[in-house]
Amino acid sequence: MTVSRRGLNGVLLGAAGLLLGACDRLSMNPGVQRGLAAAEGLTRRAQRLVQDRSALAREFSEAEISPDFRANGSVGPSDPEYRALLAAGFADWRLVIDGLVERPLSLSLDELRGQPSRTQITRHDCVEGWSSIGKWTGAKLGPLLDRAGLKPTARYLVFHCADTLDPNAMDGANKYYESVDLIDAYHPQTILAYAMNGAPLPMKYGAPCRVRIERQLGYKHAKYLMRIEAVADFAHLGRGKGGFWEDRGYEWYAGI
């Protein structure tokens, strides 16, 4: 379903774009009226699919929570900075929100817990072909971005993580990072999760805080969050593709 939805979306947007391009050039010709009408219909359908991005991901019942949620990728970062934060019970951990914002933020875990929050039971879909259902509680990202005040030039958020997943990367692109556009950033289910199944977020799931972006595949859900940077583009980060796995061939848009 993931692939077909994404495929259809692309086809419709592409077709509408082509027709609109043609109509622009031929708009003086009365013979294109039918073509214009068709283009408008296609555009409306494409638009509906785009708007569909704000729809909520399905939520599940307590009984459906996976007894053994899988963990993937980094499960216990050995980075010294992370180890020091962990040893102090994350008392010194700060989540920084900066980049293209009017008022950069630096939030302790307690401050994050004091923000407007949301709890949701959702299914995590990894691109490797497994899914698990978990209950997540976290600060809603939208209100935090409003507090920081995104500058008009901000188009994406970059999630910088504490863990080195590819220590052998010769070009230094070894840390985990991810990015999303502002539609996903402001999606009502996008939260900075500090609790899972009613307990503080365990280390293997990204302690002390990981992002949940419920309309995207698993690799977008950055764990071990340290910093959220608002940017105009991400060409200068890592290998320029917007994420650790994107730099290694995965698609940037992983919508489900």
Ligand X SMILES: Nc1nc2c(c(=O)[nH]1)N[C@H]1C(S)=C(S)[C@@H](COP(=O)(O)O)O[C@H]1N2
Stretch that binds ligand X, among 24-32, 88-96, 217-225, 230-238 (CB under 6 A): 217-225
Which of residues 66, 72, 115, 164 is near ligand X by CB under 6 A? 72
Distance CA 71, CA 215 (A): 19
Q: How far is the CB of 56 from ligand X (least distance, A)?
A: 20
Give the one entry of Mo ion, ligand X, none that residue 121 binds, where binding means its C-beta sits below a cut-off of 5 to 8 angstroms depending on kind. Answer: none
Distance CA 139, CA 159 (A): 15
Q: How far is the CB of 126 from Mo ion (least distance, A)?
A: 3
224 versus 234: smaller Cβ distance to ligand X? 224
Backbone angles phi, psi at 215, to 5 degrees: -95, 15
105 versus 217: smaller Cβ distance to ligand X? 217
Q: Render 6-28 in DSSP notation, one character per residue.
A: HHHHHHHHHHHHHHHHHHHHHTT
Distance CA 217, CA 253 (A): 9
Give the one entry of ligand X, Mo ion, none that residue 224 binds, where binding means its C-beta sits below a cut-off of 5 to 8 angstroms depending on kind. Answer: ligand X
Tokens of 58: 């399905």
140 versus 210: smaller Cβ distance to Mo ion? 210
Positions in 82-101 near ligand X (CB under 6 A): none
Residue 62: other Cβ atoms inside 10 A: 9
String marking each residue 24-63 x if it binds ligand X according to CB under 6 A? ----------------------------------------
Q: How far is the CB of 170 from ligand X (least distance, A)?
A: 19
Instruction: Give SS3 for 219.
Output: helix
73 touches ligand X (CB under 6 A): yes
224 touches ligand X (CB under 6 A): yes
Q: What is the DSSP letter of 56?
A: P
Which of residues 12, 74, 140, 192 is near ligand X by CB under 6 A? 74
CA distances from 129 to 72, 194, 211, 217, 254 (A): 12, 25, 20, 10, 14
Can you give the length of the chain in residues?
Answer: 256
Give the one entry of ligand X, Mo ion, none that residue 169 binds, where binding means its C-beta sits below a cut-off of 5 to 8 angstroms depending on kind. Answer: none
162 versus 231: smaller Cβ distance to ligand X? 162
**Count of residues in contact with ligand X, rule CB under 6 A:** 19
Give the one entry of Mo ion, ligand X, none that residue 71 binds, where binding means its C-beta sits below a cut-off of 5 to 8 angstroms depending on kind. Answer: ligand X
CA distances from 147 to 58, 102, 129, 144, 150 (A): 28, 9, 37, 5, 9
Ranges of beta strands (E only) in 73-114 are 95-99, 105-107
Q: Could you list the residues that contact ligand X (CB under 6 A)? A: 70-74, 124, 126, 161, 163, 165, 176, 204-205, 218-219, 221-224
